[in-house]
Amino acid sequence: MRHNKKFNHLSRTKAHRDALLANMTIALILRKRIFTTLAKAKALRVYAEPLINRAKNDTMANRRLVFSYLQNKEAVTELFREVAQKIADRPGGYTRILKTGNRLGDNAKTCFIELVDYNENMLKEKSAKKTTRTRRSRKSAAAPVEEAPVAETPAAEASAE
Does position 123 have pLDDT exceeding 80, yes or no? Answer: no
Query: Among 56, 105, 109, 96, which residue's Cα sits nearest to residue 79?
Result: 56
pLDDT value of residue 151:
62
**CB atoms inside a 10 Å sphere around CB 97:** 14
What would the mean pLDDT of 52-65 be, rounded to a whole number?
96
Mean pLDDT of the chain: 88
Asked if 94 and 115 count as a contact pair (C-beta separation under 8 A), the reply is yes
d(CA 109, CA 39): 8
**Greater pLDDT, 159 or 90:** 90
Read off the amino acid at residue 34. I
What would the mean pLDDT of 11-32 be, rounded to a whole number?
97
Q: At what angle do helices 14-31 and 38-54 cross, to 10 degrees?
A: 70
Counting residues of the chain whose pLDDT is more than 90, the rounded percentage is 68
pLDDT value of residue 149:
61
What contacts 58, CB < 8 A, 6 or more positions away? 80, 84
Instruction: Give the burial class of 42: count Cβ atoms within 10 A of its Cβ; 0-12 exposed, 13-18 middle, 19 or more buried.
Output: middle
134 pLDDT band, cuts 50/70/90, is confident
Does position 86 have pLDDT exceeding 70, yes or no? Answer: yes
Cα 37-40-44 angle, rounded to 5 deg: 135
**CB atoms inside a 10 Å sphere around CB 112:** 14
What would the mean pLDDT of 60-89 be, rounded to a whole number?
96
Does position 161 have pLDDT exceeding 60, yes or no? Answer: no
Predicted model pTM: 0.75
pLDDT value of residue 31:
96
Does position 41 have pLDDT exceeding 90, yes or no? Answer: yes
pLDDT value of residue 142:
60
Lowest mean pLDDT among 19-23, 66-70, 121-125: 121-125
